[in-house]
Structure 1
Amino acid sequence: MKKVTCECGHQNPLGTEICESCGKPIEENSEPKTLLNMRYEGVARRSQTYTTTIIDKIWMFFSSVKVGIWLIVLTLVASALGTLFPQEMYIPPTANPSIYYAEEYGYLGEIYYLLGFHNLYSSWWYMLLVAGLGISLIIASLDRVVPLHRALKTQRVTRHANFMKRQRVYGTSSISKEEVDETFSKVRERLENNKYKVSEENGNLVAEKGRFSRWGPYVNHVGLIVFLIGCMLRYFPGMYIDEHVWIREGDQVVVPGTDGQYYIENEQFLLEFYDEDDETFGEAIQRGGGAVVSNFQTDAILYERQDADTVGDLGELVPVAEHEIRVNFPMSHNGFNFYQLDYKLNELKTMSFTVENKETGETQGRMDIDLYNPQSSYDLGDGYEVKIRDYFPDYFLNNDNVPSTRSKIPDNPVFIFEMITPETPEGEVSFVGIRQNLEPLGENQYKMTFLDVETNNVTALGVRKDRTLPLLIAGGVIFMVGLIQGSYWAHRRIWIQRINGEVWIAGHTNKNWLTLRRDIDEAIKETNLTSPKDQVEEKEASLESKDSTFENDPLEKDHIDSNTDNESKK
């Protein structure tokens, strides 16, 4: 970056409005006879100095506060729309999202699904919004905090006369040379007693207090960046898991998000009810007209796959945890938490059939069909065979009046059988379901007869693991620290200098000017120094005085307005 040399010898970056060392206003970048813009100490910001290359334009774009606000607004609007309907993870696990949203919420639900709002928080464009917000926070902070820190660190005690004049709080006093040193000593002592850090150079003083509050907004930004990083890490494998699994009694299933490292087994499912004869709840249960569940729990065993000894060996599953999982009493292991969420009693597991001669009533063989994994054909012996042409675990007729299934859960199983017997070697077709036995291709000689059914209980466990939680907490804490830091403290500076045989006093703060003036008055009391004035208040008072004059003398106002119009025409 190019440098601009001040008359004090300090080299300032191109674009600097106030010399970082002596405070002399650089008039090429500053309007004379106006108060200095002290928001960033008049430093040169890269986004306002270099705007030619593509990198400069990208830096300038993301450093803009307006861009940051728009990114926040867009992220908030998108997040709000994401809560209009449930996210995909919260709809029934067996439901097809493309059908579910349209059936449940109509046309709006269909648009919601087509636009990808059903998986909003993991969508690529939402991640781009969050990433853009993070980039904006980083660039906007660097664009301001680095030059601001350099300027505050470089500033000298003795400041240029024009710097003093163009501060909001400014005043001069004339005192004798004999009492100057004693006055400065007394003022310094009082400022130090008021917790100001006082520095001296060439007989001049600068008192500073609360500089750390200037970094409050940037600490906020750091907290937000840490929080956003924690949010984005949730979409990295293994960092965040929030799933649920249905486990049938006696079965083992792989724990989601572990790539087969962990398995969980439903050893037994228990369901308990309140006793109707109980003195405490019996009367309420009888009024309710039905049994009330007092507890449902899963006796679960967690297995971990050990390292394989040889190539091709999948390793051995070793029990690592065992727990009776109840509501609000999860099983925990290695960062995983398993919660009891739901259950389903008497889910169909196996259906048994036989082939029966409709005329004689004779039956042949028995076939036990595993409803979760049926075979394609069953040999019943003596030339009898049954083939499964089609299987619908949860049967329904779709919009085209064609048999279909809602899910793979056997809630309403229907089979299309082909029966091959010695009398009918070409086969007969039968459509069989619960309380259904149809012959779609004409009357058959044989039929499928239901024999028996086997059921089991199924439990739903929530699986959660969150390694990003420490980052989210840290980001929130850092943000609150920055908020308190910037809200409850103010950066105050008081300059007291000997210029042209007078004592000049100037002051600046980023907020609460009344307190700054009170600190100055407290420091100079019982001295011959005059309290400095607030130039903004004086200007406002002067304007109010003119308005008052106009109200009392309308002709004077018309005369001034006429002169103003004439000057405008010229």
Structure 2
Amino acid sequence: MMKKVKCECGHINHEGTVLCEACGKPIEGNQHIDGNDQNKLLNMRYDGSARRSQTYKRTFIDKTWAFFSSVKVGVWLIALALIASAIGTIYPQYMNANTPIPANQYYEQEYGITGQIFYQLGFHELYSSWWFIILIALIGISLVICSIDRVVPLHRALKNQKPKRHEIFVKRQRFFAETENVNQSERKTLIENLKKRRYKITEQDGHIMAEKNRFSRWGPYVNHIGLIIILLAAILRMFPFMYDEGYVWVREGETREVPTTNGEYYIENEKFVYETWDRHDDRFQEALKNEEFDVPSNFQTNAVVYKAKEEVVTGQLPEMEEVKRHEIRLNEPLNVDSYKIYQSGTQLRSEYGRITLSVNNEDGSSLGSFGFLPNNNKREYELNDGYIAYIDSYYPELEFTEEGPSSSSKHPRNPGFVFEVHNPNGDVEGRYFYLGEQIIPLSDDSVYNVDVEDTELITATGLLVQKDHSLIYFLIGAMIFMVGVAQGLYWHHRRVWIHPKEDGSLLIAGHTNKNWYGLKEDIRQAMSDTSLNLVKDQQEKL
């Protein structure tokens, strides 16, 4: 049960209170907490009100509360989060690596033993790892407990403060002055001058408290509210309903499913535009003269977004309707529904889009030509007079092993294929191997001459797809945080107590949480039309 402490003024204080919340008199037996027995000046932190973390330390809950209410603990937690974030930038996060290799192999292959350690410690998926989420949650818990532990007693003390304060409280303020035989006219002049300086005047039995900018005391706690909202947004960002991200490579002329949309949207790369700065332009000659290669000025994907009209069947494109066309450039994403599609990468002219071959008779007459499409599953191509070119084997990225030809990937960067020429009766009249833009006959009795007529290289564009509902909460948290910064930085809580004594003397004391010079100037100007003694800084005597 909470113990109460009754002051001689009659006010009931909470256990652990250092200065009476009503009259300000130091409470006997509690001065060891803030050291007021040892100092002439009162320690006015939180106005001497009781803080739970420094009062109750009996149970496990009390000790846990005291642990998280410590500013040092909060600073250490933030420092650990910053260190972890810094380590996480040494190597790319796996989601941004754009590799088909599993994470446990990728980091070891690319970065060696340090990469393996990076992976084993979970830094490859830092911001979604369980331990980082717990660390962020602990920072949030620390902020909440720190705020409650301080703001509740401070609010109680400021709410209960009365103009009539104990004489000890007044005399042991940092700014203090005593003037004997003060008449009512000078006292009234002092009060009026304080009003002119926007002080709010409160009176009790002839005792005066002049106060302004009390709201500034809540600035740090407004900061905490903003930070808590930001931390909550960061935690929510780890769930797909709040934030999701995907990456897709789309070749020119290709239509692919937009990742993270569950088959709802598809995107087509109609054309990729790559532009460079003109070296002959007078505006850029000086900047480009030392560049060995052309400097790109624009990466652009002319994209079309479609929406599926029917249920998606795996491996097939559904019936779709066009939703939007847009030229995606760097920092100019395509917006559709709640998704943003960014231009993120490119593989410039890195793959074969079409290989055109001409088939001729031995006498030179043409049997026709066909355009092999490496990214298409089409096997048969029609020639003239019922003849057919048939693709027997296809290797997108050809390499030779002990077992024979194979492909190291599914991307047509170095295609090789075996094809046959069939006559109208279906008989094979020639078998050939396309290898490195050359045609190699595979049978001695081949009766046709096959030549490479043309090759077309295409570009694959890398598109980053993001759905982010957390940004608004980051923005709200940041705005609240800045309000708290301004609140605590540009305004200061100032109080002046005017304490009349029975012998006609007048005690004047002042306190502020910041900018003591500003408070002293306020009091000096308020006393300028009087003969009152100017307050002195008693700290200078210590």
The TM-score by the shorter chain falls in which range?
A: 0.7 to 0.9
Counterpart residue identity of residue 192, structure 2: E
Q: Residues of 2 paired with 1:289 and 1:148: CA distance? A: 66
Following superposition, the deviation at residue 143 of structure 1 comes to 0.9
Aligned partners of 2:175 and 2:510 also within 8 Å: yes
The equivalent residue for 1:12 is: 13
Counterpart residue identity of residue 318, structure 1: E
Counterpart residue identity of residue 15, structure 1: G
Moved more, 141-150 or 86-95: 86-95
Say which of 180, 183, 187 aligns to 1:184. Answer: 187
Q: Residues of 2 paired with 1:42 and 1:286: CA distance? A: 70
Deviations 1:434-479 (A, max 9, x none): 6999xxxxxx9999xx998987543222323332222222222222
Following superposition, the deviation at residue 63 of structure 1 comes to 0.9
Aligned residues: 489
Change in 2 beyond 3 A, CA 1:486/1:74: same
Q: Residues of 2 paired with 1:536 and 1:152: CA distance? A: 24
TM-score (norm 2): 0.76
SS in 1 for 2:499: strand
Following superposition, the deviation at residue 503 of structure 1 comes to 1.4
Q: Which runs of 5+ in 2 are unaligned?
A: 312-316, 358-369, 380-389, 419-432
Following superposition, the deviation at residue 432 of structure 1 comes to 11
The equivalent residue for 1:121 is: 127
For the pair 1:199 / 2:202, whether they are aligned, the reply is: yes
The equivalent residue for 2:94 is: 88
Q: Residues of 2 paired with 1:396 and 1:166: CA distance? A: 91
For the pair 1:57 / 2:67, whether they are aligned, the reply is: no
Q: Residues of 2 paired with 1:516 and 1:534: CA distance? A: 11
Q: Residues of 2 paired with 1:19 and 1:454: CA distance? A: 87
For the pair 1:534 / 2:537, whether they are aligned, the reply is: yes
The equivalent residue for 1:475 is: 477
The equivalent residue for 2:423 is: none
Q: Residues of 2 paired with 1:407 and 1:339: CA distance? A: 26
Following superposition, the deviation at residue 219 of structure 1 comes to 1.4
The equivalent residue for 1:459 is: 461
Deviations 1:203-250 (A, max 9, x none): 111111221111111111112112222222322214334433111333
Q: Residues of 2 paired with 1:286 and 1:488: CA distance? A: 51
Q: Residues of 1 paired with 2:250 and 2:109: CA distance? A: 28
Aligned partners of 1:339 and 1:463 also within 8 Å: yes
Change in 2 beyond 3 A, CA 1:374/1:12: farther
Counterpart residue identity of residue 474, structure 1: I
The equivalent residue for 2:426 is: none
What pairs with 1:214-293 in structure 2 (closer than 5 Å)? Answer: 214-270=217-273
Aligned partners of 2:77 and 2:139 also within 8 Å: yes
Moved more, 20-29 or 341-350: 341-350
Q: Residues of 2 paired with 1:228 and 1:394: CA distance? A: 50
Deviations 1:75-129 (A, max 9, x none): 1111111122222233343454434433443332222222222222222211211
Q: Residues of 2 paired with 1:396 and 1:505: CA distance? A: 96
Aligned partners of 1:346 and 1:457 also within 8 Å: yes
For the pair 1:160 / 2:166, whether they are aligned, the reply is: yes
Deviations 1:187-214 (A, max 9, x none): 1100001111111111111111221111
Following superposition, the deviation at residue 55 of structure 1 comes to 2.4
Moved more, 11-20 or 80-89: 80-89
What pairs with 1:35-434 in structure 2 (closer than 5 Å)? Answer: 35-175=41-181, 179=183, 181-270=184-273, 297-305=300-308, 317-341=320-344, 342-345=346-349, 347-348=351-352, 407-411=409-413
Q: Residues of 2 paired with 1:527 and 1:288: CA distance? A: 77
Counterpart residue identity of residue 119, structure 2: Y
Aligned partners of 2:11 and 2:22 also within 8 Å: yes
Aligned partners of 1:33 and 1:166 also within 8 Å: no
Aligned partners of 2:177 and 2:507 also within 8 Å: yes
Change in 2 beyond 3 A, CA 1:350/1:211: same
Counterpart residue identity of residue 232, structure 2: I
Aligned partners of 2:395 and 2:406 also within 8 Å: no
Q: Residues of 1 paired with 2:294 and 2:510: CA distance? A: 77
Following superposition, the deviation at residue 325 of structure 1 comes to 2.9
Q: Residues of 2 paired with 1:277 and 1:507: CA distance? A: 72
The equivalent residue for 2:362 is: none
Q: Relative to total residues, which structure has the larger helix share, 1 or 2?
A: 1
Identity between Structure 1 and Structure 2 (%): 48
Following superposition, the deviation at residue 303 of structure 1 comes to 1.8
SS in 2 for 1:332: strand
Change in 2 beyond 3 A, CA 1:148/1:403: farther
Counterpart residue identity of residue 469, structure 1: L
Following superposition, the deviation at residue 387 of structure 1 comes to 9.7
Q: Residues of 2 paired with 1:64 and 1:23: CA distance? A: 26
Aligned partners of 2:5 and 2:15 also within 8 Å: yes
Aligned partners of 1:253 and 1:264 also within 8 Å: yes
Following superposition, the deviation at residue 74 of structure 1 comes to 0.6
Counterpart residue identity of residue 515, structure 2: N
The equivalent residue for 2:496 is: 494
Moved more, 118-127 or 269-278: 269-278
Q: Residues of 1 paired with 2:120 and 2:57: CA distance? A: 40
Deviations 1:361-397 (A, max 9, x none): xxxxx9x89778799xxxxxxxxx9998x98957698
Change in 2 beyond 3 A, CA 1:280/1:67: closer
Q: Residues of 1 paired with 2:63 and 2:276: CA distance? A: 69
Counterpart residue identity of residue 107, structure 1: I
SS in 2 for 1:337: strand
Q: Residues of 1 paired with 2:83 and 2:30: CA distance? A: 39
Following superposition, the deviation at residue 317 of structure 1 comes to 3.1
SS in 2 for 1:9: coil
Aligned partners of 1:87 and 1:118 also within 8 Å: yes
Q: Residues of 2 paired with 1:404 and 1:6: CA distance? A: 91
Aligned partners of 1:371 and 1:393 also within 8 Å: no
Q: Residues of 1 paired with 2:67 and 2:289: CA distance? A: 69
Q: Residues of 2 paired with 1:165 and 1:403: CA distance? A: 96
For the pair 1:25 / 2:26, whether they are aligned, the reply is: yes
Following superposition, the deviation at residue 511 of structure 1 comes to 2.0
Counterpart residue identity of residue 145, structure 2: I
Q: Residues of 1 paired with 2:62 and 2:445: CA distance? A: 83
What pairs with 1:516-535 in structure 2 (closer than 5 Å)? Answer: 516-535=519-538
Counterpart residue identity of residue 263, structure 1: Y
Q: Residues of 1 paired with 2:216 and 2:181: CA distance? A: 35
